[in-house]
Structure 1
Amino acid sequence: MTSSKPSPPGTVERAFRAALYADTDTSLDTGASLLAADPAADAELARHGEEFVASAWRRGWQPADLVRLVRRELDDVHVRLVSALISAQAPNDRARGRRWTEQLTDLAVTPAPPRADRFTHATTVLELYRLLLGLPTLESLDEQPAVAGEGARPERPESRMLTRIRALLAKAEATGFPEEAEALSAKAQELMARHSIDEALLAAGAPAGDAPRARRLGVDAPYEEAKAVLLHAVADANRCRAVWNEALGFSTVVGFEPDLEAVELLYTSLLVQATTAMTKAEAAQRAKGRNRTKTFRQSFLAAYAHKMGTRLAATAAAETADAAATRTTGPLLPVLATRDLAVTAHLDQMFPTTTTTRLRGVTDEAGWTEGTAAADRAALHTRPHLPGA
């Protein structure tokens, strides 16, 4: 009677045993040394990386989520490495939706990892794989491509209205004049509200109605609490809902697709404008002899988010009331109420349990005052006439 002995573990398996399941520098060095000494293991090592990426997709992650987490936890060389792995895995992946494809396109411009000696490269790879191995499961965004003949509603191309909104916000970010930024931002929010109403009425009359979706937006340090509050305010004003994941540095925004697009555009623009205003206000405070940068910035952004929420809510309510009073294309308010209920139901399904949190660290009176004033200057409750807009 003969029996075969199991083959000895290969280099990659031994390196993984040493480095991935024990979080110490010594074990990492051991694993990297094994890999550095065996160039023949490189292809298998890369295949394992693609498998880790595919596993992340099964756990609800998307390309932008993964890159954002790696940037948050590791270094630029790891970001380049995970971007390369995502691109390498993509041809073997199943068909995805438009947002997924856009994220892959963004990654395509990421520079390749710099050349390094074998030990340094192996260390980088193992550090990245450690992170990927421990990824938690996220709520599925369930983005499926439209398939003809299966009752799926094909995605419409981006509207001209969103193109105009994007152009207005870009101008608001670029101008050095607060009054001009206010007018441009106000016009953008007006167009967003109008676009949302048009899309709601269009969807209500379609044979197969839209359904709410979700997307994740990064909420990065520093001062992430204030940024999360600002995003929450923008989402509420645009008929969406946001849930902040503090540990992983993002908020999940739930809503209908045109509104999600508006939220991302406006949040990004207001964050740029708030940062610019904060930098100028801080310089003025330093000129007066103050040197409390952290508390000033925290209080500034908290006040900006709080005041902006009030302004956005007022603008959204005014636009809805105006549309309800003047439009004859359909029962607007019941349509909007139905969509609000659908968004709430989708949010509750994704997040059965949520908690509320209060802003911490708002202790600087000057920062709060300046942040409130900046939000006032960027007020969105007026609807000025802009020639050519």
Structure 2
Amino acid sequence: MGSRDRRRAGVRLPPGITNADVAPAQMLEVLMQAAMSALAAGDRTALEPVSTALVERPDLGGWRAFVARELAVRLPFAIEQAWSRGWEPADVVRYAARRLGPGSGVLAAEAVTGQLTGYATVTVDPRWREQLAEFEVVPWWPADSTVVQARLHRDGWVDFAPQLLELVAFLLVLPGLERIGPPPGEYRPAPGETAEPVTGPPRHVDERVLSRIRALLAKAEATSSEAEAEAFTAGAQERMARHSIDMAMVRASGRDDGGTGGERPATRRVWIDPPYEQSKTVLLNAVASANRCRSVWTKNIGFCTVIGFGADLDAVEALFTSLLVQATTAMTRAGRIEQAGGRARSKTFRQSFLAAYALRIGERLATITHEQTEAARTELGDDRLLPVLASRQHDVEERFAELFPSVTRGRSIRVGDQMGWASGRGAADQATLNASSAVRP
């Protein structure tokens, strides 16, 4: 290999020394460092010569067998490193798929699944197993084999070796995140809590209440009438807000711990898919605020961290997912309106539409929560309700400050299309959210 070939391979070798002259261990280390540098810099094109050097090196000195053995060891180590830096299964899989492609996301899901099988169930947070269940990975590799061995046999050296090297390097350069739960091996169930994987509805919301909420949101997503969609969504928010208050009072009943009943705020990550990420985070923040939660957007990676009590987090996730569907439907409908130059279909129009929709929906959800709180105050009395709500809000703010002591407020969304802004507010404002007249209990 000449100097031109050395540059093409992205390998810094002394003059006159070829790829094949370097010992397998040294060569793999050079390639790994080159891949890590490329991924840390966000330059995937720099990985191409690394992959070329990996697969085109002659299989001398047991090169392929050595690489397979070494990477099979480094992959679980890299996964453990990700856990130690605050990453969770869903984070690793989604980020790998986003940065490296769907195929690498599948490999990451398989690797994480294989890794967690080595831990006793009682030492793994049930949330982690719930996350794995979302990706529906069924171990297809033999019990006496690893994912790496099975993949090499199935996919072949040329196709799989570069993908494996890239994933290992990617995991090793992941940035640190706020730790929101214990890594595997350190989790211990709370007294009375089951350690078995949860396959049904979230534990924090009564199943019957959650079923009614989901039914209302499904109707909101299915209807072609914006007024009906708003009314169904309002009905869901009413039930969420009241159920949150009821859960808080039940947990605080007979307790002397300040009103939380021993429950502490929890934390979840919600991944925001492109396009229009900023407007979608505005929507999530609006939903979170209306349900007494706090949210922070980690823009450079692509997720929001939401902090709140369990029932409120369940409500936020369900409502945000539904409102994304509803907002997209309303935006598409508005975009069919013919405007000069097709402006209603432009990116600026859609960004402005979603931002206005999110802010207006947030105002309306907050109004519903306030109304339900006032109704509960009348029923329960200020001396019973207000201390409980104040205590819970204090705990949420305290947890928020603990995780994000130096968070800064981001720039507001720039409205680049007044027609989009007006259309978005109009779509969110058409219905009268007196859900009792439109939604049956």
What TM-score results when the alignment is normalised by the length of structure 1? Answer: 0.88
**Aligned pair in 2 of structure 1 residues 19, 331: CA closer, same or farther (>3 Å)?**
same
Matches within 5 A, 1:319-358: 319-327=372-380, 331-358=384-411
Q: Is the 8 A contact 2:331 2:350 kept in 1?
A: yes
Q: Establish whether residue 314 from structure 1 lines up as the match of residue 367 from structure 2.
A: yes
Aligned to 1:273: 326
Matches within 5 A, 1:173-212: 173-205=221-253, 208-212=261-265
**Aligned pair in 2 of structure 1 residues 157, 331: CA closer, same or farther (>3 Å)?**
closer
CA distance in 2 between partners of 1:175 and 1:233 (Å): 23
Aligned to 2:302: 249
Match of 1:243, SS state, is strand
Aligned to 1:74: 100
CA distance in 1 between partners of 2:138 and 2:383 (Å): 47
Q: Is the 8 A contact 1:298 1:361 kept in 2?
A: no
Q: Establish whether residue 140 from structure 1 lines up as the match of residue 168 from structure 2.
A: no
**Aligned pair in 2 of structure 1 residues 381, 362: CA closer, same or farther (>3 Å)?**
farther
Q: Establish whether residue 108 from structure 1 lines up as the match of residue 116 from structure 2.
A: no
Q: Is the 8 A contact 2:97 2:103 kept in 1?
A: no
**Aligned pair in 2 of structure 1 residues 16, 93: CA closer, same or farther (>3 Å)?**
farther
Q: Percent identity?
A: 43
Aligned to 1:3: none
CA distance in 1 between partners of 2:306 and 2:128 (Å): 16
Indicate which of 73, 77, 90 corresponds to 2:116: 90
Indicate which of 177, 198, 215 corresponds to 1:167: 215
Aligned to 1:5: none
CA distance in 2 between partners of 1:260 and 1:75 (Å): 29
CA distance in 1 between partners of 2:313 and 2:432 (Å): 21
Kindly state the Cα deviation for residue 262 of structure 1 after the two structures are TM-superposed.
0.5
Q: Is the 8 A contact 2:113 2:137 kept in 1?
A: no
Q: Establish whether residue 224 from structure 1 lines up as the match of residue 247 from structure 2.
A: no
CA distance in 2 between partners of 1:213 and 1:206 (Å): 22
Q: Which range moved further: 158-167 or 333-342?
A: 158-167
Q: Which range moved further: 67-76 or 348-357?
A: 67-76
CA distance in 2 between partners of 1:229 and 1:125 (Å): 37
Indicate which of 334, 338, 355 corresponds to 1:285: 338
Give a deviation string over 1:323-370, Cα, whole Å, max 9, x none: 111236970111001100010001000110111122344211111111
CA distance in 2 between partners of 1:379 and 1:215 (Å): 32
CA distance in 2 between partners of 1:255 and 1:379 (Å): 29
Give a deviation string over 1:43-97, Cα, whole Å, max 9, x none: 4423321221121111111111111211221211111111110111011246222
The answer to which structure, 1 or 2, has the higher relative contact order (CA under 8 A, 6+ apart) is: 1
Q: Which range moved further: 328-337 or 351-360?
A: 328-337
Match of 1:370, SS state, is helix
CA distance in 1 between partners of 2:426 and 2:171 (Å): 43
**Aligned pair in 2 of structure 1 residues 270, 46: CA closer, same or farther (>3 Å)?**
same
What TM-score results when the alignment is normalised by the length of structure 2? Answer: 0.78
Kindly state the Cα deviation for residue 163 of structure 1 after the two structures are TM-superposed.
2.2
Q: Which range moved further: 49-58 or 113-122?
A: 113-122
Instruction: Read off the aligned partner of 2:225 and give its amino acid letter.
Output: F
CA distance in 2 between partners of 1:11 and 1:175 (Å): 62
Kindly state the Cα deviation for residue 378 of structure 1 after the two structures are TM-superposed.
6.1
CA distance in 1 between partners of 2:58 and 2:79 (Å): 20
Q: Is the 8 A contact 1:62 1:100 kept in 2?
A: yes
Give a deviation string over 1:219-272, Cα, whole Å, max 9, x none: 222111111111111111001000111011011000001101101111111111
CA distance in 1 between partners of 2:173 and 2:322 (Å): 34
Q: Is the 8 A contact 1:311 1:379 kept in 2?
A: no
**Aligned pair in 2 of structure 1 residues 48, 296: CA closer, same or farther (>3 Å)?**
same
Kindly state the Cα deviation for residue 33 of structure 1 after the two structures are TM-superposed.
3.9
Instruction: Read off the aligned partner of 1:18 and give its amino acid letter.
Output: L
**Aligned pair in 2 of structure 1 residues 13, 97: CA closer, same or farther (>3 Å)?**
farther
Q: Number of matched residues?
A: 378
CA RMSD of aligned residues (A): 3.0
